[in-house]
Chain A
Amino acid sequence: MSAISDGIRDDFPALTQEINGHPLVYFDNAATTQKPRAVLDAIQNYYEHDNANVHRGIHELSNRATAAYEGTRDRVAQFINAPVHEDIIFTRGTTEAINLVAATWGTVNLGAGDVILLTELEHHSNLVPWQLLAQRTGAKLRFIPVTGDEGTLDLSDFDGQLEGAKLVSLTHISNALGTINPVAEICAQAKAAGAVTLVDAAQSAGHMPLDVQALGCDFLALSGHKLCGPTGIGALFARRELQEAMPPYQGGGEMISKVEFHKSEFNVPPHKFEAGTPNVAGAAGLHAALDYLDAIGLDAIHAHDTELAHYAKERLSGFEGVRIFGPTEDRGGLVSFIFENVHALDLATLADQQGVAIRIGHHCTQPLHEKLGVPATARVSFYFYNTRSEVDRFIEVLQKVINLLR
């Protein structure tokens, strides 16, 4: 049994509503999570009391806003065990964090023929930026294959694939299949081969304990909105030594130390990578989210999510004609599936009529779906506020939907 009580749902105003006359069952947490009252209050509080621009004012409100913003940098560093808070660059989210690495580190470090090693599991966010970089620099993309419906990485030729690789960039948890990749082992091997590593932690941050030093990665990207925080704020962990040698990302205020008409000198990292007025309210919300999650405990959250995923998988396997994706072991809190002769779009539409929110489509992993030979899958993804009885309700609704469609 989970250590997290159902009472925790009371912290989430959005979870108490009815959809189409039925209590909402929100199973689209891999897309984004709901927000606890503590996060909503932190944002409201920031705007009501502390709102000002950061880093520039002499006045009290500006000092408070700067303290809120920089305080969150410390908090994020602590949350992922980064050695120093300067290792944290604020971004809009995972997508921007990866694009930042591609535009800065990638531009000066990759050249014609260099290999960017990815996996077939990657979200478009950890694929398209590298395609664009490859077009600019002449670098080549290479992919660690997945084993099929199980969705685990086939690392049998990993050593061979590392040949010529300057960068290894991979997802920690697959948003499409739920696979948890052996990131620490992969980073260690990549490092030994002289490659820089990036971990896409969009699905793992806030879902399991994260420690960048234990993972041994050079970069790590995360999104606030996927861990109870607001949209529009995320972070890039970038080891300081790498940041020093990276050119600026965008130009503007905040990122400079001295500007003349024809040239500028840049601020020190990480500010050098944060042009313009940042999302301070978002940072305040993110801080509250991290506090909230730590109070529950990341181990307890991970145990809860995976337990629900295993339970859902077990219940789903009771259906006739179902195909379930993802690994048996080491699965994150989500399950993807399809039914023979039933379109996922029909499933999701009819489930929504009964208040059950599920995701369908290629989940921003089109090439992976191409490989699996399915245009779309249906996905249920869980967070700590979901319950076993919601899974039961989902199964009951699914049965009804299947009856209607067959």
Chain B
Amino acid sequence: MSVTLNSIDELADNFELLGDWESRFGYLIDLGKELPPMDAADQSEVNRVHGCQAQVWMKLRPEAAGRITIVADSDAFIVKGLIAVLLIIYSGKTAKEILAIDCQVLLDQLQLAAHLSPTRKNGLFAMVQRVRELAQAIQVEATE
């Protein structure tokens, strides 16, 4: 299955089609494997997202017209898959758009939560939190 996705709706449709846990996780893992690599130099303590049981690094890169590219990586495949989902939700948007998104609603749409343990949900929440904090910082900088 193609893993180039443009919208969360498309992702939700694909998840819907894949009925059982095995294909859903398989799909998530494939999404993670296709994640653009992050420079080893960026996998540093400043970019570390704490609160997840695996190691996660994340960085926001401002592009033209106020758009933001998210670069992130993890040493665990399922976490990489979750990062890929967050990228679909957030990457390429402006700081203002990012801050306006209610991520919970979108994640509920994917019914991912049913498969995630509370600790894992905390990890996912920590990543969402970091995206928002970094976007906030960029927005503040832009308006100063």
**A→B interface (CB under 8 Å):** 20, 342-343, 345-346, 349-350, 352-353, 360-361, 375-376, 400, 404-405
Any chain A CB within 8 A of the CB of B55? yes
Most buried by B among A345, A353, A375: A345
Any chain A CB within 8 A of the CB of B22? yes
Q: Distance in Å from the Cβ of A10 to the closest Cβ of chain B? A: 29
Given A349-B117, A375-B55, are A343 and B76 neighbors across the interface (CB < 8 Å)? yes
Beyond known contacts A345-B54, A349-B78, A405-B29: 19 more, CB 8 A cutoff: A342-B77, A343-B77, A343-B79, A345-B76, A346-B76, A346-B77, A346-B78, A349-B117, A350-B78, A353-B22, A353-B25, A353-B115, A361-B53, A375-B55, A376-B53, A400-B22, A404-B22, A404-B26, A404-B29
- Complex contact B77–A405 (CB within 8 A): yes
List of A residues within 8 angstroms of B21 by Cβ: 20, 353
Chain B residue with minimal CB distance to A21? B21
Any chain A CB within 8 A of the CB of B61? no
Which of B22, B25, B78 is the one whose CB lies under 8 Å from A345?
A: B78
List of A residues within 8 angstroms of B22 by Cβ: 353, 400, 404
Q: Distance in Å from the Cβ of A69 to the closest Cβ of chain B? A: 35
Any chain A CB within 8 A of the CB of B75? yes
Most buried by A among B22, B25, B77, B79: B77
- Please encode chain B, from 43 to 80, with 1 for each CB lying within 8 Å of some chain A CB and 0 for all others: 00000000001110000000000000000000111110
Q: When chains A and B are docked, how far (Å) is the Cα of A361 from the Cα of B53? A: 7
Chain A residue with minimal CB distance to B74? A343
Q: When chains A and B are docked, how far (Å) is the Cα of A361 from the Cα of B21? A: 23
Any chain A CB within 8 A of the CB of B120? yes
List of B residues within 8 angstroms of A343 by Cβ: 54, 75-77, 79
Chain A residue with minimal CB distance to B33? A405
Chain A residue with minimal CB distance to B22? A404
Q: When chains A and B are docked, how far (Å) is the Cα of A405 from the Cα of B77? A: 7
User: Could you tell me the dominant secondary structure of chain A's interface residues?
Assistant: helix
Which of A352, A361, A375 is the one whose CB lies under 8 Å from B117?
A: A352
List of B residues within 8 angstroms of A404 by Cβ: 22, 25-26, 29
Q: When chains A and B are docked, how far (Å) is the Cα of A342 from the Cα of B55? A: 13
List of B residues within 8 angstroms of A352 by Cβ: 117
List of B residues within 8 angstroms of A400 by Cβ: 22
Q: When chains A and B are docked, how far (Å) is the Cα of A346 from the Cα of B26? A: 11
- Complex contact B53–A350 (CB within 8 A): no
Q: Distance in Å from the Cβ of B113 to the closest Cβ of chain A? A: 13
List of A residues within 8 angstroms of B76 by Cβ: 343, 345-346
Q: When chains A and B are docked, how far (Å) is the Cα of A99 from the Cα of B4? A: 55
List of B residues within 8 angstroms of A342 by Cβ: 77
- Complex contact A349–B55 (CB within 8 A): no
Q: When chains A and B are docked, how far (Å) is the Cα of A375 from the Cα of B115? A: 24
Q: Distance in Å from the Cβ of A403 to the closest Cβ of chain B? A: 10
- Top 8 closest pairs, chain A to chain B, by CB: A343-B76, A345-B76, A353-B21, A345-B54, A346-B77, A345-B53, A346-B78, A346-B76
Chain A residue with minimal CB distance to B114? A20
List of A residues within 8 angstroms of B25 by Cβ: 349-350, 353, 404
Most buried by B among A343, A352, A360, A405: A343
